[in-house]
Chains A and B, each alone.
Chain A
Amino acid sequence: MTIDYLGNATEEDLPLLKIPYFLNTVRVGWPSPADDYVERPIDLNEYLIKNVAATYFVRVSGDSMINAYIGDGAILVVDRSIEPKHNKIVIASINGSYTCKRLLLKPKICLVAENPKYSPIFIEKEAELEIAGIVIAAINTY
């Protein structure tokens, strides 16, 4: 008997037919009793953000708040929905730009830095001061 070689059965320009099969095995039996106790992994957003709609992130430049553990380049979590109170760290608008300082309401309204190099900013008229939000956390990366 002789064999004539006619060529390969599939030509290269014919598309390959892919037939799907199931990769996942199907489990039969009782579900694991531990399924009820599965917890979600810890989420940093959940810990840091109380009010999503009112929370913004801003980045710090400079060392004026270093003694409040807010370093150069830190990211601040700012919540606009919290009422500004005495001794809170705030984002305030002064002369057309935003700054991060501690707000003191007594004995006199002023914004103080957490660094002796900087002198406090006294607010003469309440209208001049606008608080854009309260700093609720600082994220420093090392």
Chain B
Amino acid sequence: MTYALVDCNSFYASCERIFRPDIKNKPVVVLSNNDGCVVALSKEAKNLGIKMCEPWFKIKDSFSKKGGVAFSSNYELYADISSRVMQTLEYLAPKIEIYSIDEAFLDLKGIDRCVSFQEFGFQCRDTVQQWVGMPVCVGVAPTKTLAKVANYGAKKYPGTCGVVDLSSRERQRRLMSLMPVGEVWGVGKKINQKLYSMGVVTALQLADMDIKLIKNKFSSVLGRTVMELQGYPCIGLDERPSTKKQIIVSRTFGKKINSLQGLHEAVSDYTVRACEKLRKEEQYCQMISVFMRTNYFRQQDKQYSGMLSCKLNSPTNDTRDILNAARSITKKVFKENYNFIKAGVLLSDFYDDGVSQSDFFTPNLDRLGGKDLMATIDKINQTGIGKVTFAAQGLEKSWSMKRSLQSPRYSTNWNELLVVR
């Protein structure tokens, strides 16, 4: 077996750079919802000493003075660029597994009959850069865990030009001896600490551990990791993206809400978004939950956190039915005289189209034409010309998120295209 792991470099920051040649070598950070803290940063920003999760208000002034550029997160843009990267990889490799928004595993079986793995790695890197404008690193190895090791090397050492082929055992061992054990795929904080206390510091030391001992002291999952580090493939390629089992849409408000009407609007807005996602997955849900909470960090406030669920008569993905349910749950979860800072909607208990047995005497059967209506609304909302919203979402949305530094949605909205002269 041979796997490649293709991983984008500073993905969010690189997305922002595709349309902004003027910030090519400048420090770039991307901020979390409500511009709270740093969630992604470019190499140049790292070199300024900025860390992940640092609160934005603390570094704002000094960062701007040093020529840094900050963006509010623009998930529409990131999702579109991610799908372009994956499409390009699908064109290059016979089988791919999309592992996260910015990583994919490729199955390279048989490719070395045409080109060397090293050469194929460079092909991947160059094609994704050329077609999408996204810089990536490629790690090639006989197991997925070792492909992660290879990618770590490709990212860490500029001399590799972003491609590392770990086909030979000798090279695997050399790189693992330089890699802290905490960086190994599947080794979390707790396991790392326990290994450390046992004197295991590098990835190579872990690879040389006795598998029986690891399985006894830790788990069979970590045993599998050790096997993979030794070069025996245990984790295969998962080509089919598993259908979601639940959908959550939740946000922190731009400012606190204490009225039921305000919460109705916010919850309705998240419900509409969750239903859009549900239809995109081509699923029908029968369970809906609503949760809301106050701000834990404001100790002077009274604290409350609540969640309630409701089972619908039959599975649906019609926004109107789910909105109705969300509304009645919100009324029940809500409590007077609390300052709410976050709310969310969770859809679960999914069914495929047509799987549910409809009951002849259930009054709320599929609304006539409901499917077409929802499809039409989704289509209109994707064009960017205008938006069809449900009255329950409210008009002013005074509670909505702060995203003061957001870049245009260059590739997903006709009104926000890049302008050239």
Contact = CB atoms under 8 A, between A and B. Distances in A.
Contacts of B22: 96-97
A62 B368 contact: no
B363 A17 contact: yes
Nearest to A54: B131
B365 A56 contact: no
B244 to A, nearest CB: 24
A103 interface: no
Contacts of B360: 19-20
B420 A58 contact: yes
Contacts of A52: 84, 87
A61 interface: yes
A132 B361 CA distance: 61
Interface in B373-421: 410-411, 414, 417-421
A95 to B, nearest CB: 8
A141 to B, nearest CB: 11
Contacts of B361: 17, 19
A23 B369 CA distance: 11
B133 interface: yes
A53 B91 CA distance: 10
Given A18-B363, A54-B88, A98-B21, A80 B130 contact: yes
Contacts of B417: 57-59, 75
Contact of B130 (A60, A81, A93): A81
A56 B131 contact: no
B132 interface: yes
Interface string A1-43: 0000000000000011111100100000000000000000000
B420 to A, nearest CB: 5
Given A19-B360, A98-B21, A58 B419 contact: yes
Given A17-B361, A59-B417, A61-B421, A81 B21 contact: no
Interface string B113-151: 000000000000000001111000000000000000000
Contacts of A51: 131
A53 B84 contact: yes
A112 interface: no
A56 B21 contact: no
Contacts of A57: 411, 414, 417
A15 B131 contact: no
A96 B417 CA distance: 17
Interface of A: 15-20, 23, 51-54, 56-62, 64, 75-76, 80-81, 91, 93, 96-100, 130, 132
6 contacts: A53-B87, A53-B131, A53-B132, A57-B414, A96-B21, A99-B420
What are the nearest 6 A-B pairs in CB distance?
A: A96-B22, A54-B131, A53-B87, A93-B21, A59-B417, A58-B418
Given A54-B130, A62-B421, A91-B420, 5 more contacts: A16-B363, A58-B419, A76-B420, A97-B21, A99-B421
